Each structure stands twice: as structure tokens, then as C-alpha cells.
Amino acid sequence: MSNAPTFPLAEAVRAAYHAGEDDETMEPLVRVDAAGRPIGRIRDGDYVIFYDIRGEREIELTQAFVAPDDDFAHFDREPMTSHWATMIEYHPDLDVRVAFPPLGTISDTLSEVVSKAGLRQVKVVESEKEVHLTYFLNGKRTEPFPGEERRIIPSLEFEGYLPPPEMRASDVADAAIAALRDPGVDLLVVNWANVDVIGHSEDREAICRAVSAVDAQLGRVLEAAKETGVAALVTADHGTVEKWYYPDGSIDTGHTDSPVPFVLVAPHLAGAAVRDRGSLVDVAPTALELLGIPKPDVMTGASLIDSLAGEQAEPRRVALFILDGWGARDEAWGNLILESDTPVMDALQAAYPSTRIEAAGEAVGLPDAVPNREGKTVGNSEVGHTHLGAGRVVPSDRLRIERAIADGSFFENSAYRWAMEGAKRDGARLHLLGIISFYSSHGSVEHLKALLRMAKQVGAPEVYVHGMLGRRGEKPESGAIYVGDIEAECERLGVGQFVSLIGRFWSLDREYNWERIEKSYRWLVYGDGRPVGAR
């Protein structure tokens, strides 16, 4: 008989896997006492630390707890006040303490510089990725700049976890073509979301259809760009499905550390060439050179175009086409980009100046080394679009947090001290809420472990962990391993109980699916979910 420890939530997750559930959409699990009552629910006067990073998917759930009644009519809430601290700023209007506030506005981004030059710009994107073109690309600024127009294509409503692979790629293309045919549009920025969205699944056929759909629609739009004399830059924000397998052959549904393609499609610029050894920070300076706008001093990136001479240096209209999640890799094994039908991109890279640019690790402000794993930190849509717009390296929130943990300043953070000491002083509960993943773009269990150590140091009397599972970038059934790891850490430290778990599909929404957020709210407050008893 094995003496290996078992942990109730980890075992419940494994049982859910065997019943056919997956991490992303896992129904809520809730620890209960001997009488069947939920343990560790959020109640009036409690303190909550939401330790996720990135932030755009965390806004709605935070609103459900901190928004005043006059500003919240999405569903009925329990009359109570809870005190929240968040790892980073999710939105400036949220009534929370922020542990790692923004370093400041990212000024003189591509969009801002184009606006200051008096030019007109149009952005086209599905609502699934709206925040990336309207917020991250603009240096985390919410409001549009003067002369900036946003044409948001509403994403499809669908049953289940994944939309159809084609999504609304053709409608995005239609809107892009209309903008190209308007001579008053100087800069067009387009994002096709399909490869990234569908790439976070294990459906090979659907992924290949998504890749091919983007390729076909890119071809339509490029024909319009050629007809109208618009110089096109084709690239991506990060990789995903070009490295679909882990070395052991299991499926990797997450982002990758691969470079991304960069192609200059401008037949009117005869003789133009592009250089190698670039990164995403070089895309904005390239667009500005083509537009005939001087690069601001804060943009440390450099144009990827080797030279433009004579009449070729005249200002041009420019289009930036972002193929979200389209990485570049030569190896065929597990490369679903190569498996897909992509005649447009194949022809572009053969006929036009092209290269590959870095989209992961230190090149885009992320840690270059991943603890206990090989390779650099993988890219993501937030970081990718931020750097495409900024034209310089912007230190990521993850890098700031990990440096703070390493140098010890994390454990003196004023926002976390406020929450932990407040719970201790008031005799209230402290709740730690966030993603349960080794290295998700939304956070890490290492950040949670640091908070547990800090709670022990402070002496917070009642500490409860509420986790969200996601499969992206993790091996099959790894969620159960991480859950068990946190349960073991609580036992080892003698602080905290891991009391509930839910799939991130229900809790990390960004398209106002309030029925999902209500499900998550009821999970946290009332303990709605499958009961999990003691060992």
C-alpha cells in the first residue's frame, strides 16, 4: 500500500479528467466540511488578493465584487463589502489596491506618433482580440488617439468552448479592404485571431482550417493593397501551433518561444530588402519609415528595411497585418503551420523580402530563462501587441514580479501588507485567487507560493486558495499536478487551505459573457459546485 500523500482537490481534478472534463471548462469544485458545508467562501469584510497578471480577462470578475450597486446590473449579488488587492492594474477605475502599478504611460507608440503627424489610422479586429489593438498596441491607453478609428467585428456567438475555425476572418478582410480603398486612410492595422484562438485546442483539423482561413483572407486583402499602392507588413505577435508537440509527443496547446515571420509586400519599392536579427520592437520603426515619419527618440527599435532610396523614400500608405499566433519554425514534426494549406504565405515568403523576428524572451521584455524548464519565456498576445506598438523593449509585469520575489521586496509590498495585515487585524479571512499554472501568461503558481509564504510571515489567521485551471501551454492533466503541489505547499507551510477550483473559461472572460462571471461569483460566494470532501 502506497504511503504517498493524496490531496482532495487534486484527486477531484483527476476524477474530472477521467469523466471527460478538461481544464479550461472544468465545472467548479468546492471543498466541504463533514456536514457538507462549503469551506472558505468570500464573505462580508474579507480580503482578497487576485494574483493574476496580464489583466484584461480579470476585469469582469473583479467588477462583480468591487463595483458599486449603481454601476452593476448584470446579476444579483450578496450584500457585502470585500477588500481587494490585485497583482497588477486590471483597469484604472477598479476600487482595488494594486501591488505592481503601471510604470507609467508608454508614450510615443506607433498609433500616437501617427496621430501627432496628423494622419488617419484604422484598426480592424474581431471583438475576441479587440483589447490587443485598442489597448496594448496603444501603450495600454484605452481611449483612441485623434484620427484613430476602430472597426470592431463582433465575434460569433457559439455553443461550447471553441468557435468555428474560420471565425469571422472573411468579415475582417472585408473591412480591411474597404479601408484600403479609402485613400484617406494612411495606416491600417489588422488582426486575424483564428490561429491563436483555435490553436489553444487539441483539434488538429480545426487548427489547420484556421490557419488556411487566415492565409486565404490575407491573400484577398493583399490584392487590394497592391491595387491601391499600399505597402504591407505581414507579421505575428507570437507563435502557437508551429510547435504543437512537447518533446515527448504530448500536445502543447500554449504559446511558443519561436520567432515569427516578417514580410514586406510592396511591389512599388523595387530593390528593397529586409535585414535579419530583428524583433517585434522593430516593426513600428519600419512602418514609420514607410509613412515618412521620423522615429521618436524613445523608440530604440530600428527599421527592418535595409535601404530605401530616391523616389522609393517618398511617404506611402502602410498596412500592418498581424496573423495572431503564427510562429515560424523549419522542423516539420508537430508543425501545424507547415501541415496546413498556406499558398499565400508560401508565395509571399518566396517572392518578397522576408525574415524572422524574435517574439519571446528578453527581446520583448520577458525573462529569458524559464525556471526549471528549457527555453526562454514564451510570447503572448499582450506582450506581442505592446511591443509591436511601442517600438522599444518594455519590461513585463512578470519580470518585475519575479525580480521582486528574488530580491525580497515582494514580501514588503504595501498592497499585500494592507490585505494580509488587514485580515489579521479585523479577524477576517484572506483569499488568494488566481490561475493555477506553471507559466501561464496570466500568472504562475510560483507567485501564489510567494504569497503563501508571506501570509505565514504576517500571521494571517485564515487563508483560503481559489484556483482557476487552464490547459494553455501545459501538458495533458498537468492541472492536477499543480493543484496537488499547492495543497502540499499549504500543508508544508502550515498556512492556507486550497478550497475551490474552476475552469478559466468561466472566470476569465473579456467579452461580457456575464452568465459565466455569475457562475464564478456563485462559486466563490455560495460554494456552488461539486462538493469535495476530506481525504
Distance of CA 354 to the CA centre of its chain: 27
Closest CA to 191 of 161, 167, 209, 160: 167
Q: Which residues contact 437 (CB under 8 A, 6 or more apart)?
A: 443, 444, 445, 469, 470, 472, 473, 474, 479, 482
Q: Where are the domains of the chain?
A: 8-101+399-532, 110-155+204-311+321-394
- Per-residue pLDDT of 111-158, as tens digits, reads 999 999 999 999 999 999 999 999 999 998 889 999 999 999 999 987
Q: How far apart, in whole angstroms, are the C-alpha atoms of residue 376 and residue 258?
A: 9
Residue 456 has pLDDT above 90, yes or no: yes
Give the Cα separation of 490 and 285 in Å (integer): 49
- In 51-203 the beta strands, taken as DSSP E runs, fall at 83-88, 97-100, 121-126, 148-153, 187-192
Residue 500 dihedral angles phi and psi, to the nearest 5°? -160, 160
Q: How confident is the model at residue 504 (pLDDT cuts 50, 70, 90)?
A: very high
What CA–CA distance (Å, rounded) separates 400 from 407? 11
With CA atoms as reference, report the closest residue to 380 among 240, 206, 199: 240
In this prediction, residue 330 carries a pLDDT of: 96
| DSSP E strands, 405-451 | 429-436
CB neighbours of 79 closer than 8 A, spacing ≥ 6? 44
The CATH number assigned to the domain with range 8-101+399-532 reads 3.40.1450.10
Residue 410's pLDDT is what? 97
- State the pLDDT at residue 103: 82
Which strands, in side-by-side order, build the sheet including 121-126? 148-153, 121-126, 187-192, 318-323, 231-235, 260-265, 354-358, 278-279
C-alpha to C-alpha distances, 232 to 36, 161, 221, 229, 348, nearest whole angstrom: 61, 33, 10, 9, 11
DSSP symbol at 368: S
Name beta bridge partners: 192.
323
**Could you say which DSSP state residue 121 is in?**
E
444: buried, middle or exposed (CB in 10 Å: 19+, 13-18, 0-12)?
buried
Whole-number pLDDT of residue 311: 45
% of the chain beyond a pLDDT of 90: 80
Strands 354-358 and 278-279: parallel
Mean of all residue pLDDT scores within the chain: 92
For residue range 247-274, list pLDDT tens digits in order. Answer: 888 888 889 999 999 999 998 887 889 9
Instruction: Give the per-residue pLDDT at 470.
Output: 83
Kindly tell me if the per-residue pLDDT of 319 is higher than 70: yes
DSSP for 275-310, written as a single string: -SSEEGGGHHHHHHHHHT-PPPTT-----SB----G
Q: Say how many CA atoms lie within 13 Å of 245 toward its Cβ.
A: 10
Which position has the higher pLDDT, 208 or 54? 208
Which pLDDT does position 294 carry in this prediction? 96
Query: What pTM was estimated for this model as a whole?
Result: 0.77
**354-387, pLDDT tens digit by residue?**
999 999 999 999 887 665 556 678 899 999 999 9
- pLDDT at position 374 is 61
Question: Is 110-155+204-311+321-394 in CATH node 3.40.720.10?
Answer: yes
50-62 pLDDT per residue, tens: 999 988 899 999 9
pLDDT class for 453, splitting at 50, 70, 90? very high
Q: What is d(CA 413, CA 331) in angstroms, rounded to the nearest whole number?
A: 45
Q: What pLDDT, on a 0 to 100 scale, did the predictor assign at position 423?
A: 97
Give residue 5's pLDDT: 54
Mean pLDDT computed over 444-452: 95
The span from the CA of 460 to the CA of 456, in Å, is: 7
d(CA 258, CA 195): 15
**Phi, psi of 442, deg, nearest 5:** -95, 0
> What is the model's pLDDT at position 310?
42
Q: What is the 3-state secondary structure (H, E, C) of 208-226?
A: HHHHHHHHHHHHHHHHHHH
| pLDDT score of 32 more than 70 | yes
Predicted local distance difference test score (pLDDT) of residue 358: 98
Check pLDDT > 60 for residue 228.
Answer: yes
Per residue in 328-358, pLDDT (tens digit) is 999 999 999 999 999 999 999 999 999 999 9
Q: 61-111: per-residue pLDDT in tens?
A: 999 999 999 999 999 999 999 999 999 999 999 999 999 998 877 999 999
| pLDDT of the residue at 122 | 98
d(CA 165, CA 194): 7
211-220, 305-314, 517-526: which has the minimum mean pLDDT? 305-314
